[in-house]
């Protein structure tokens, strides 16, 4: 059934496939606004940016780490990366909120969040009135990401009920965590955002599976980057591959995609360059898909299989005087 045959509303959504301006957060925010303005000019109501778009995904870097040793250059690399991160909330979040309000779009943005001297790979959410809604911190960084990013907890796994649908996000390989997905399905997610750094073709299989499993729209946004989008060596080095790269070498090929609850690819995947990938989401597809399979509804067997989610903040230090004043 086409959207024209359905009485359900449609939502125009865009996933942004573009690179960070590395180590230059103000310039990256300027670029984000240009892309947001372009998407809004196409009538987009929801715009999703890639993982770590603000702050940068430090592809190829090892931060000078080997077991038992950290180099001085690696420590300086971390200092610069920390400086490019943003506070949430903070002035950059305020600017992103103002952009969402200016262009009247719901905005989902991947950022590197700075909390003191620990960084988190985070997604921040804004409504089309320019209000910051909240954030999701990546629960499980992958491989060497764990030396630079902290771990999120169950208090930042939100699904926001908005006029265009229930929106949430999981970042990159945490999309492979079935219990996390189940928690999001239980919160009623309808527009499942999947900012990522994985441009392999096999990523598409995961995105299609999630759409079918969750009966939801899946919007996956990845960066498209060439070597020249990162600082030149020796300031920034792609460990193990630098000698094989030219400035034009593609180091992340994108693959951003929009998939319907029936598993139909609505737009993308795009491996060609920076792009805005747009599709109209027929909201009626959700009910039609859930009729077949509702993973936390009529297809659940809670007397056999159930899940408990610890969704309180996991803070390492609590002060009793603060608690008594609340």
- If pLDDT is split at 50, 70 and 90, which confidence band does 275 have? very high
**254 has a pLDDT exceeding 90:** yes
pLDDT at residue 1, as a whole number: 46
Give the separation between CA 124 and CA 207, rounded to whole angstroms.
21
Mean pLDDT along residues 129-152: 97
pLDDT at residue 4, as a whole number: 47
Give the separation between CA 55 and CA 91, rounded to whole angstroms.
14
The burial class, CB within 10 Å (0-12 / 13-18 / 19+), for 240 is exposed
| Residue 290 annotated in active site | no
| Residue 104 annotated in active site | no
pLDDT at residue 215, as a whole number: 97
Mean pLDDT of the chain: 95
% residues pLDDT > 70 (the chain):
97
Catalytic residue, chosen from 31, 135, 138, 290, is 138
Mean pLDDT along residues 152-163: 97
**305 has a pLDDT exceeding 70:** yes
Structure tokens at 40: 């809004």
pLDDT at residue 2, as a whole number: 47
- If pLDDT is split at 50, 70 and 90, which confidence band does 148 have? very high
pLDDT in tens, 50-79: 999 999 999 999 999 999 999 999 999 999
- If pLDDT is split at 50, 70 and 90, which confidence band does 8 have? confident
3-state secondary structure (DSSP) of residue 104: coil
Q: Do the Cβ atoms of 273 and 260 come closer than 8 Å?
A: no
List alpha helices for 114-252, DSSP H. 178-186, 203-214
Catalytic residue, chosen from 31, 92, 121, 172, is 172
pLDDT at residue 141, as a whole number: 97
Mean pLDDT along residues 125-148: 97
pLDDT at residue 321, as a whole number: 86
Q: Do the Cβ atoms of 135 and 122 come closer than 8 Å?
A: yes
What is the spatial order of strands in the sheet that 132-137 belongs to?
132-137, 118-126, 106-115, 46-48, 10-17, 275-282
% residues pLDDT > 90 (the chain):
94
Half-sphere CA count of 65, side-chain side, radius 13 A = 13
Q: Do the Cβ atoms of 184 and 168 come closer than 8 Å?
A: yes
- If pLDDT is split at 50, 70 and 90, which confidence band does 325 have? low
Q: Do the Cβ atoms of 47 and 36 come closer than 8 Å?
A: yes
A 10 A CB-CB count for 108 gives: 28
pLDDT at residue 7, as a whole number: 67
* CA nearest to 84, candidates 139, 2, 23: 23
Give the separation between CA 260 and CA 268, rounded to whole angstroms.
12
| Residue 193 annotated in active site | no
Mean pLDDT along residues 191-216: 98
Catalytic residue, chosen from 51, 174, 213, 285, is 51
- If pLDDT is split at 50, 70 and 90, which confidence band does 3 have? very low
């Amino acid at each position: 059934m086409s959207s024209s045959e359905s009485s359900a509303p449609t939502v125009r959504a865009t996933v942004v496939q573009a690179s960070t301006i590395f180590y230059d957060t103000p310039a990256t925010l300027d670029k984000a606004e240009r892309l947001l303005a372009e998407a809004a000019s196409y009538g987009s109501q929801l715009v999703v940016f890639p993982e770590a778009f603000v702050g940068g995904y430090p592809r190829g870097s090892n931060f000078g780490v080997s077991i038992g040793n950290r180099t001085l250059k690696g420590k300086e690399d971390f200092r610069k990366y920390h400086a490019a991160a943003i506070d949430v909330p903070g002035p950059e979040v305020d600017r992103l909120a103002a952009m969402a309000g200016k262009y009247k779009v719901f905005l989902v943005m991947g950022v590197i969040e700075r909390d003191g001297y620990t960084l988190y790979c985070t997604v921040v959410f804004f409504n089309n009135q320019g209000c910051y809604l909240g954030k999701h911190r990546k629960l499980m960084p992958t491989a060497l990401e764990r030396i630079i990013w902290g771990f999120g907890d169950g208090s930042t796994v939100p699904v926001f009920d908005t006029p265009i649908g229930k929106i949430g996000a999981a970042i990159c390989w945490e999309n492979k965590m079935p219990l996390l997905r189940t928690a999001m399905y239980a919160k009623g997610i309808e527009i499942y955002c999947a900012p990522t750094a994985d441009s392999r073709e096999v990523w598409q299989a995961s995105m299609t599976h999630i759409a079918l499993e969750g009966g939801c729209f899946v919007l996956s946004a990845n960066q498209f980057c060439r070597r020249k989008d990162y600082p030149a060596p020796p300031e920034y080095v792609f460990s193990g591959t630098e000698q094989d790269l030219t400035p034009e070498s593609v180091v992340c090929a994108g693959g951003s995609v929009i998939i319907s609850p029936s598993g139909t690819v609505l737009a993308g995947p795009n491996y060609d360059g920076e792009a805005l990938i747009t599709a109209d989401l027929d909201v009626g597809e959700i009910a039609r898909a859930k009729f077949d399979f509702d993973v936390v509804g009529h297809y659940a067997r809670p007397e056999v299989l159930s899940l408990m989610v610890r969704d309180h903040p996991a803070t390492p230090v609590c002060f009793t005087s603060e608690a008594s004043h609340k």
